[in-house]
Each structure stands twice: as C-alpha cells, then as structure tokens.
C-alpha cells in the first residue's frame, strides 16, 4: 500500500456536488499541485481552486485533508467537493493520476481501512450492506454491526466456546486432575447454550432478510389473466405492454417498488403460462417458472370471467411448489366474473405447509389493488426481528457451519466421545474467528471488497 489511489466517490451524472477521494502517501503532494496551496489544516473545509496543467482554473471547490492515522483508511486522505459535472470530476481524477495517483479498485478505500486496523471485517461488510439495503430497517440493522454490536455478541459466544474447549481438553489430557464440577452434563449444557445463541442470530436474520434485501415478488398466471395490468397498477405507471392477444409478454420485466412504510420489493411480471408451439414464448414461460421457484412471494393471477383450465392449474402448481413463503391468489375481473366459483376451486389446492391468501380485484377499475400492497407489506414486516443484524452471505454460511459443528459436538459428547467433540468445537472456533475476520485468507478478503463500488 505504498501507492496513492484516487476515485470519484459519487455517481457520475449531473448533480449539485461530486466528490473525488484520494488516499495514500502522496496525497499532500497531489493536492498541493492541484490547488497551488501547501498549508492544509486537518479536518478543515478549505475553499480552494483547482488548476489544470496550463495553470487555468477548472473549478472552485471545498477540500478536506485528513492526516494519518486519523482518517477512514488510516492513511493521508483528501476529499474534494466539486460542482457535480461529470466532465469536471473525470478531469480532476485524471489530473490526480497524472500527478502520481492510480485509479482505485472496487472497495479499495475500505479494504485499506481493514488492512490498517481501522475497522474489522464484519464492520467492513456492514458498510456494503448500508449502501445496498432496500429498506430503512436494513440500514439500521447494518449500522448496528458498524457500531460493533455484532462483534460484541459474537465475542461473548467465542469466549464461551473457548471455555468449553478448555474443559473438554482438560478432561482428555488430565482426567484425574479435572474439577469434579466439570461433568459431562455441564459440558453438554454449555455447548447447548452456545448453540442457542448462535441459532438466535441465524434465525433472526433469516426471519428479517427481506427487510434488507427486499422481497422478490413474482406475478404468474395464464395469458390475459391481467398480470401486466396488475404489475402496472402496483408500479404506478405503464411498464408492461397490455394487449388482448395471448403471449404479449414473452420475457420477464422487473422493477423495485415501495409497497408502503418504506418496504421495498422487487416486483416481476412474467410471460403467461400456457401450452404453446412458439419456441420464443416457451423460453419465456420456462424463465417465468424458474423465477417463480426462487421467489419470496408469488401473486398467482386468474381471470374470473373465463373457465378454470389446465393453464390455471399449472400456474397454481408452480406457485405452491416454489420456495415462496407466501402465495397470494389474485382473482381478477371481479367486476364481471364469478369470484366465488374461483374461490371454491382454489380452496381445493391449498396446503398447510404454504401460507396462502385469496384476494379478488378488478384491474380495469383499480379496485382492491391497495389490499394487494397491504398484504405484501404486512407479510414482509411480520417476520421482522427488531434486533436483527444485516449479515452477508459469507457470514450466514459461517453461522450455518458453526451451528452444524456445535450440533455434532453435542452428539459426540452424549456418546462420551470427548475427542470427537473437541475436534468439532475447534472447527466451530475457527469458523467464529473467520466470522470476525481473523485469519481470513487473502482470497476471501479480496472477494469481499470486490463487491464494493469504486470510491468506497
């Protein structure tokens, strides 16, 4: 990290302000060349002018200098607040590179903060989560990790597991000297308590995941059931083409919408499910089924003015066999169809292992559409744990691994296999250290920061 990096830290489109960020040993030298000034107070907003190579003024701006180690990265840093013209921003970045900096890679500023001991790995991951969260609750959950609450909880569990390992190894190596209070039952109880605490974190996140990632909500049904009309009404604008001809929507269309209370979802309109000889339409239907299978919520739409047929049945089967936690059966055209007949038919398909709702709507008259939004929002918010942490896929994977190892340790100790239990507890401890970023391989670290945007 002997080089100096530079990048824009705000999106490159016209705006009031655009920020350029630098970090590294040559920051003072570069900003002195750009501004023709050489006396910068730490953490002070300097009003300066930026000069081109020919000595002509490019912009009047605010510059803040951060002296190491009291900076985000732990190195000398500068942030230049320019007028938000992408032409100006790109030119200033080019000048910095010409004067000794290089273009930063994805997440390199935060990576340097981690490598310089300014933040832990799980806090670095929380910064990415703050940037990507789909709801304000997701942001709040990410802030809890950034403030160190997650580290504190995991550290307490780690100490408990270290104590368990110490007791197990003492029982193996010095059985005659072990305190009589360290019984098999006591060790089992301690392992069980550690397991419960890890599971609480894991289940809390699992129940609240949609508050961070945003629920994936897919509309499915046969052609002309009103899927695209429902999509457009929920979005609030015409995004999907509406036509009386079957097969108009041949691929999926998706967008993010707020269904109320700051709850964002990814809403997807799909091709109509039906038997067709058209290979292009067949591919669209295949994609519709694949997307539905991975959704959190499915809106299965029916045309109540037509007969319930094999295409409707296929839509129901796709919905109920998916991973979706909620299926809402939408009986459309309530203004002219037989809603009660469809309600009776749908009731025969419902199963106890899948949460389902049935709503009648009229897309033509925009009736009961708010009820659809309300049901989606209530479902997403219902499972929320107010004390959850916004965790990355890496962290969830490690938590799952720790749970498995602790369960295995319990099984071994119940069979009086102390050695097997020791090996499992050691592996659990290694995974906890990985969770906290201790001893993570360079490849893992590199992969984490590659997911950041340039300039962060």
Strands 77-84 vs 57-66: parallel, antiparallel or unpaired: antiparallel
Q: What is the pTM of this model?
A: 0.64
The CA-based dihedral angle spanning residues 27, 31, 32, 33, taken in that order and rounded to the nearest 10 degrees: 110
pLDDT, residue 368, reads: 92
Signed CA dihedral, 187, 190, 195, 196: sign only: positive
Q: What b-and-e string marks burial along 129-140, b requiring 16 or more CB atoms within 10 Å of the CB?
A: bbebbbbebbbb
CATH 3.30.1360.120 segments of the chain: 4-119
Q: What is the pLDDT, as a whole number, of residue 274? A: 63
pLDDT value at residue 390: 76
- Peptide linkage before 69 cis (omega within 30 of 0): yes
Count of CB atoms within 10 A of residue 67's CB? 15
Given 3-state DSSP classes, what are the helix, strand and coil percentages for the chain, each rounded to the nearest 5? 45, 20, 35
Pick the CATH number of 125-209+392-436 from 1.20.120.430, 3.30.70.380, 3.40.50.300, 2.60.40.1180: 1.20.120.430
Give 283's Cβ-side CA count (13 Å radius). 4
Using DSSP's 3-state secondary structure scheme, residue 321 falls into helix
CB burial of 291-327 (b: ≥16 within 10 Å; e: otherwise) equals: bbeebbbbbbbbbbebebeebbebbbebbbebebbbb
Q: Is 106 left (phi over 0), alpha (psi -120 to 50) or beta?
A: beta
pLDDT at 175: 55
Task: Return the pLDDT at 147.
Answer: 82
Which homologous superfamily does the CATH classification assign to the domain defined by 4-119? Probable tRNA modification gtpase trme; domain 1 (3.30.1360.120)
* Cβ atoms 107, 177 nearer than 8 A: no
Helix (H, G, I), strand (E, B) or coil at 180: coil
65, β-bridge pairs: 42, 78
The alpha carbon torsion through 428, 433, 439, 443 (nearest 10 deg) reads 80
d(CA 239, CA 253): 8
Arch. (CATH architecture) of 214-382 = 3-Layer(aba) Sandwich (3.40)
Query: What's residue 324's pLDDT?
Result: 86
Question: Tell me, what's the pLDDT at 84?
Answer: 93
User: Contact 50/92 with Cβ under 8 angstroms?
Assistant: yes
The predicted structure's pLDDT at residue 244: 44
Q: What angle do CA 271, 317, 319 make, to 5 degrees?
A: 60
Using a 10 angstrom Cβ sphere, with 0-12 exposed, 13-18 middle and 19 or more buried, the burial of residue 254 is middle
Query: Is residue 62 within 8 Å of 46, Cβ to Cβ?
Result: yes
pLDDT at 242: 42
Is 78:109 a contact under the CB 8 Å cutoff? Answer: no
| Whether 434 contacts 428, CB under 8 Å | no
Residue closest to 436 by CA, chosen among 131, 161, 136, 104: 161
- Could you read off the pLDDT tens digit of each residue along the chain, which spans 456 residues? 689 999 999 988 999 999 999 999 999 999 999 999 988 999 999 999 999 988 899 999 999 999 999 999 999 999 999 999 999 999 999 999 999 999 998 889 989 998 898 988 888 888 878 877 777 777 887 888 888 888 899 999 999 999 888 888 877 765 555 554 467 788 889 999 999 999 988 887 776 677 777 788 999 888 888 888 899 999 886 544 444 434 444 456 888 888 887 788 889 988 777 666 666 656 666 677 778 778 889 999 999 888 888 888 888 888 888 888 899 999 999 888 888 898 898 888 888 888 899 999 999 899 999 999 999 988 888 766 667 777 877 888 899 999 999 999 999 988 888 889 999 999 999 999 888 877 666 766 666 676 666 666
Asked whether the beta carbons of 270 and 231 are under 8 A apart, the reply is no
Residues 6+ positions from 11 with CB-CB distance below 8 Å: none
Residue 28 neighbours by CB distance under 10 Å: 16
Question: According to CATH, where is 1.20.120.430 located in the chain?
Answer: 125-209+392-436
Beta carbons within 8 Å of 189's beta carbon, 6+ residues apart: none
pLDDT of 139: 82
Q: Which residues pair with 385 in a beta bridge?
A: none
């Amino acid at each position: 990290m002997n080089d100096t990096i530079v990048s824009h830290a705000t999106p490159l489109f016209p705006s009031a302000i655009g920020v350029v960020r630098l970090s590294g040993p040559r920051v003072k030298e570069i900003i002195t060349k750009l501004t023709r000034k050489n006396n910068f107070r730490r953490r002070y907003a300097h009003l300066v002018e930026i000069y081109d190579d020919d000595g002509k003024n490019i912009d009047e701006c605010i510059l803040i200098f951060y002296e190491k180690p009291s900076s985000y990265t732990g190195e000398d840093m500068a942030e230049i607040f320019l007028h938000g013209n992408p032409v100006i921003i790109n030119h200033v970045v080019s000048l910095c590179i010409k004067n000794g900096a290089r273009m930063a890679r994805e997440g390199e500023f935060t990576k340097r903060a981690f490598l310089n001991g300014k933040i832990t790995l799980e806090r670095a991951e929380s910064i990415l989560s703050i940037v990507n969260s789909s709801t304000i609750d997701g942001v709040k959950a990410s802030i809890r990790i950034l403030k160190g609450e997650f580290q504190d909880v995991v550290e307490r569990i780690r100490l408990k597991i270290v104590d368990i390992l110490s007791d197990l190894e003492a029982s193996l190596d010095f059985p005659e000297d072990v305190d009589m209070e360290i019984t098999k039952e006591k060790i089992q109880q301690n392992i069980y308590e550690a397991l419960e605490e890890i599971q609480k974190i894991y289940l809390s996140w699992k129940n609240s995941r949609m508050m961070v990632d945003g629920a994936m909500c897919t509309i499915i049904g046969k052609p002309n059931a009103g899927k695209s009309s429902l999509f457009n009404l929920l979005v609030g604008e015409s995004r999907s083409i509406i036509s009386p001809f079957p097969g108009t929507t041949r691929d999926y269309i998706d967008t993010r919408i707020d269904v109320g209370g700051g709850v964002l979802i990814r809403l997807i309109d799909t091709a109509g499910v039906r038997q067709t000889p058209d290979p292009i339409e067949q591919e669209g239907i295949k994609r519709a089924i694949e997307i539905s299978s991975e959704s959190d919520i499915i809106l299965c739409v029916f045309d109540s003015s037509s007969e319930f047929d094999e295409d409707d049945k296929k839509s129901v089967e796709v919905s109920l066999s998916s991973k979706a936690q909620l299926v809402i059966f939408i009986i459309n055209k309530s203004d002219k169809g037989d809603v009660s007949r469809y309600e009776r038919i749908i009731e025969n398909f419902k199963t106890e292992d899948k949460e389902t709702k049935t709503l009648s709507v009229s897309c033509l008259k925009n009736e009961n559409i708010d009820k659809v939004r309300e049901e989606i929002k209530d479902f997403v918010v219902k499972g929320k744990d107010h004390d959850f942490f916004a965790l990355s896929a890496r962290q969830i994977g490690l938590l799952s691994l720790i749970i498995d190892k602790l369960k295995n340790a319990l099984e071994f100790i119940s069979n009086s296999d102390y050695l097997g239990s020791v090996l499992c507890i050691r592996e659990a401890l290694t995974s906890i250290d990985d969770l906290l970023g201790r001893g993570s391989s360079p490849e893992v670290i590199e992969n984490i920061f590659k997911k950041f945007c340039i300039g962060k």
